[in-house]
A and B are shown apart, each in its own frame.
Chain A
Amino acid sequence: DSGVTQTPKHLITATGQRVTLRCSPRSGDLSVYWYQQSLDQGLQFLIQYYNGEERAKGNILERFSAQQFPDLHSELNLSSLELGDSALYFCASSVGSEVRREKLFFGSGTQLSVL
Chain B
Amino acid sequence: GENVEQHPSTLSVQEGDSAVIKCTYSDSASNYFPWYKQELGKGPQLIIDIRSNVGEKKDQRIAVTLNKTAKHFSLHITETQPEDSAVYFCAASIREGTYKYIFGTGTRLKVLA
Contacts and interface: CB of A to CB of B under 8 A. Distances in A.
Interface stretch (A12-20, A65-73, A75-83, A101-109): A101-109
B101 A45 contact: yes
B101 A106 contact: no
A42 B105 contact: yes
A103 B101 contact: no
Contacts of B71: none
State which size class the interface on B falls in. Answer: 20 to 34
Mostly, the B contact residues are strand
B104 A56 contact: no
Interface string B49-92: 10100000000000000000000000000000000000001010
Nearest to B100: A56
A63 interface: no
Contacts of B106: 42-43
Interface in A88-115: 90, 92, 98-109
A48 B30 contact: no
A105 B42 CA distance: 12
Contacts of A99: 32, 93, 99-101
B28 interface: no
Contact of B32 (A33, A90, A101): A101
Given A45-B100, A45-B103, A103-B49, A90 B43 contact: yes
Given A42-B89, A101-B32, A90 B44 contact: yes
B12 interface: no
Interface in A21-71: 33, 35, 41-43, 45, 48, 55-56, 58
Contact of B104 (A42, A92, A100, A103): A42
Interface of A: 2, 4, 33, 35, 41-43, 45, 48, 55-56, 58, 90, 92, 98-109
9 contacts: A2-B45, A42-B106, A45-B103, A56-B98, A99-B101, A100-B93, A104-B46, A106-B43, A106-B44
Interface of B: 6, 30-32, 34, 36, 41-46, 49, 51, 89, 91, 93, 97-106
